Amino acid sequence: MTEPAETGPAIGDAIPDVALERPDGGTLRVADFRGRPLVLFFYPKDDTPGCTTEARDFSALKDRFDAAGVAVLGVSKDPPARHRKFAARHGLTVPLASDPVENGLADALGLWIEKSMYGRTYMGMARTTMLIDAEGRIARIWRKVKVKGHAAEVLEAAKALAAG
């Protein structure tokens, strides 16, 4: 599978305040988290091996993120009902949000991209994590995330930002 060269936001950019859907049907915005750091992990699809591992790893560390005063939110284009099933099936404790199919947060950040696998092109989420500071600015970006050990690395960076 190939992905295009890096595009999107940079360190210091303000995170767009786009409405996301919660699994319970309500909405939330990135601005709802202002005043404390936020980890946004964007992942391609519920119930796929890498995405499941990533969500479970962040869930396993949720208490440590909470203790550091850092919120965590997983974002994909999957609908709220699918997020509910995904969270229940895997015992996820991190909140998940559904990004609108068109003109959503991933689109605004350049993370909804054309991908290619086995000669077929399609639109998909670039697995990316962003650490947002308490003022709503991007403090760190992990692009083309490799899942193993990722949540622990993000926790260390988040703790340093929160303490800093």
Q: Which two tokens stand for residue 27?
A: 């909405």
Tens digit of pLDDT for each residue in 94-114?
999 999 878 899 999 999 988
Tens digit of pLDDT for each residue in 11-32?
999 999 999 999 998 999 999 9
- Residue 3 CB burial class (10 angstroms; 0-12, 13-18, ≥19): middle
**Predicted model pTM:** 0.91
Q: Is residue 10 part of a domain?
A: no
Q: Is residue 154 part of a domain?
A: yes
- In the predicted model, what is the mean pLDDT of the chain? 92
Q: How many domains does the chain have?
A: 1
Q: Is residue 138 part of a domain?
A: yes
Q: Is residue 4 part of a domain?
A: no
Q: Is residue 155 part of a domain?
A: yes
Which residues are designated catalytic? 51
CATH number for the domain spanning 92: value is: 3.40.30.10
Q: Is residue 14 part of a domain?
A: no
Name the residue range of residue 60's domain.
Answer: 20-163
Q: Is residue 11 part of a domain?
A: no
Tens digit of pLDDT for each residue in 131-154?
999 999 999 999 999 999 999 999
Strands (DSSP E) along 96-160, which ranges?
96-98, 112-117, 120-125, 128-132, 138-142
